Structure 1
Amino acid sequence: MEASQPSNGPQASLPVLAAYQYCEVVTGQQARNFAYGIKLLPTAKRQAMSAIYAFARRVDDIGDGPLDDATKARRLEETRDVLRRVREGGIGEDDTDPVAVALSDASTRFPIPLGGLDELIDGVRMDVRGEEYETWDDLKVYCRCVAGSIGRLSLGVFGTVPGARGAERAPEIADTLGLALQLTNILRDLREDAGNGRTYLPSDDLAKFGCQDGFGSAAPPQGSDFDGLVRFEARRAEELFQEGLRLLPMLDRRSGACVSAMAGIYYRLLGRIAQDPSAVLRGRVSLAGREKAFVALRGLSGLHTRQVARAAAARERP
């Protein structure tokens, strides 16, 4: 992987470049869909996004790991302390934590709202406590913590183009796109999460479709309208995507291509899930590499952005 230098601000030192390279390796190994998108960014933005992802991955790994709940809670607070040091400028380039070094450097080059990572930690604490969600409004709080926050953090790196219409709402729209991605994730991982003793979909919705007994097998719950449940949630995610994708015309070409690629992959996953809801109980729904490449090229061409802009303009016409 290249050790190229960020273009924003002073030239990065070799220790900082090594820290960024570490974060890029983590991203490439642990988040293929995310890595697919950020490959389309210029070096400085790609490295900053890798630093954000590597820190977020650390937080997620604590929550999903084998430690007992008390140890997880302590480790999460230790991670929050690292974030505090980053925020206060207390991480030197010779620090032994490459993720902290990279995130600290990125936060000096871009206006990254680091509080979003505090929100992510809050969301993972909710997982550790085993919280369940009665209504969609309840679940939205969790989704905003673990995914909407990433949308807002990413926007800090991307920025908006000068004079972009509606740019004052960009953080809110980025947050909404994060919700769309997270709800798609929840649907895709329904069986896996059930195996780990977690249920994220609102209990009100589960009861409405007769799915309150959970998803412990490859077959839908007896007597339930499982397909109806999944399609109901998929329509909700579709609406969130339609709002969240309005971010695209506000971004420069390569940032827009990155968002279009990442969102486009999940949007296609959502369509596949809605078409065959029970597939999520049989295994992990995914896209082939060539299909991801097509989505990325479509984003890079600007076609997706132009389509979103035309659709938004059409909705605003009297």
Structure 2
Amino acid sequence: MIGSELDAAGVRDPALREAFRRCREINARHGKTFFLATRLLAPRQRPAVHALYGFARRADDILDDFDGRGSEARADELQSLSTRLFNALVQNQPCDDDPTLTAVVYTARKYDIGWGLFDDFLAAMRMDLTVTDYPDRAALERYMYGSAEVIGLQLLPVLGTCVPREDAAPHAAALGKAFQLTNFIRDVDEDLRRGRVYLPADELAAHGVDRDLLNWCQDNGRTEARVRRALMEQHAAARKVYSEAEPGVGMLAPASRPCVAAALTLYSGILERIEEMDFQIFGQRATVGNTRRLTVAAGGLVRSWSARLRHGRGQP
């Protein structure tokens, strides 16, 4: 399967093909919902998406691997990654010994994805080394631009548009933000264990919630009433961002719409699951069941093939 995808993408060089294979393996192992959605793309698009995911995952792993390294060592590793990407992408230096960089640099050049989007992403990753709380939504928005919105903007040229790209860009950015807001609500428990809270402190405080109360919920494995009310407000805010993102699906190239629509449906389904759990997110993780995933994927597959037949198989 991966061989046919690389053939469709015009990737012939053996070392480059191996680099893309590595990125695909990373996506399949760590991003199951996202990987399932990529199956709805035209084969020629998939390697680029896997490369972008692989690079983002690599940066994220530097931050979150529990391997005993301190923040200084992690900062040095992030800076090294940033420098190597800049040298390869902007200075045209070789990176043949690094499969992830090899694949993402090829992708960035092919789709004209500028260094600035990667720089903004890595800057947000560096924030995670020192910033553990966000006083208000404006501060959180600044973080999310680099950590989530730029991901949507990186993917946009791969997906293609039927309108000027600048018209679709705000919606692509909003979808990246919506996905991340979903993660922030779902993963409050997990993030607390890493010493972080990705919800605006002033909005939590309006409901009488602070870090101590969140820690109490974690210790007791249940969501206290004030925390539930605060999470309900965050849930509504995330829903609003999904509504801002949704019109962008129709602005994409037809063959890309089933993939993005499926991703939107599956990820917003996590919000539905959180609500069904009555916001009992401590000690358990909200997930979309396999039956629901397969149902959405099957419907998307039919729409994907139909779009390719109508607009030219393999075209974005």
Structure 1 partner of 2:83 = 81
Match of 1:110 in 2: 111
- For 1:45 and 1:114, locate their aligned partners in 2 and report how far apart those are by CA, in whole Å: 20
CA deviation after TM superposition for structure 1 residue 279, in Å: 2.5
Give the letter for the 2:42 counterpart.
P
| CA gap 1:154/1:129 in 2 versus in 1, 3 angstroms | same
- Matches of 1:170 and 1:82, distance apart in 2: 31
TM-score, length of structure 2 as denominator length = 0.87
Residue 18 of structure 2 is matched in structure 1 by: 18
Task: Report how far residue 300 of structure 1 moved.
Answer: 4.2
Deviations 1:94-128 (A, max 9, x none): x1111111112212321223422222211111111
Residue 39 (structure 1) aligns with:
39
1:215-230 alignment, distance < 5 Å: 215=215, 216-217=218-219, 218-221=221-224, 224-230=225-231
Structure 1, unaligned runs of 5 or more: 304-318
Cross-structure match for 2:237: 236
- The separation in 2 between residues aligned to 1:196 and 1:271, in whole angstroms, is 25
Is the contact made by 1:234 and 1:270 (CA closer than 8 Å) also made in structure 2? yes
Tell whether the 8 Å contact from 1:51 to 1:102 is kept in structure 2 after alignment. Answer: yes
- Structure 2 counterpart of 1:185: 183
1:55 aligned onto 2:55 = yes
Alignment-derived partner of residue 309 in structure 2: none
Matched, 1:205 2:206: no
State which of 168, 172, 176 in structure 1 corresponds to 2:174.
176
Corresponding residue for residue 128 of structure 1: 129
Residue 263 of structure 1 corresponds to 264
How many angstroms apart in 2 are the aligned matches of 1:75 and 1:266?
31
2:88 partner amino acid: V
| 1:83 Cα offset (Å) | 1.5
| Structure 1 CA distance for aligned equivalents of residues 255 and 32 of structure 2 | 18
* 1:236/1:194 CA distance change after superposition, 3 Å: same
CA distance in 2, matches of 1:114, 1:299: 32
Question: CA, structure 1 residues 112+7, in 2 after alignment: closer, same or farther (shift >3 Å)?
Answer: farther
Deviates more, 1:201-210 or 1:100-109: 100-109
- 2:60 maps to a residue whose letter is D
Q: Residues 20 and 6 (structure 1 numbering): CA distance in 2 closer, same or farther, change over 3 Å?
A: same
- Contact 1:3–1:18 (8 Å) recurs in 2: no
CA contact (8 A) 1:193 1:199 kept: yes
Question: How far off is 1:6 after superposition?
Answer: 4.9
SS of the residue corresponding to residue 44 of structure 2 reads helix
- Paired residues of 2:86 and 2:115 also in contact (CA < 8 A): no
Equivalent position SS for 2:112: coil
Amino acid at match of 1:184: T
Kindly state the Cα deviation for residue 250 of structure 1 after the two structures are TM-superposed: 0.9
**Matched AA of 1:13:** D
Gaps of 5+ in 2: 305-316
8 Å CA contact 2:63, 2:128 repeated in 1: yes
Q: Which has the higher contact order (CA 8 A, sep 6+)?
A: 2
Instruction: Tell me the C-alpha RMSD between the 2 structures.
Output: 2.0
How many pairs were matched up? Answer: 296
Matched AA of 2:222: A
Distance of 1:230 and 1:7 partners within structure 2: 44
Task: Among all aligned residue pairs of Structure 1 and Structure 2, give the percentage whose two residues are the same amino acid.
Answer: 28
TM-score (norm 1): 0.87
Deviations 1:57-87 (A, max 9, x none): 1100011123200011110000101210232
Alignment partner, residue 156 of structure 2: 155
Distance 1:72 1:26 in 2: 20
Q: Does the aligned pair in 2 maintain the 1:113–1:156 contact within 8 Å?
A: no
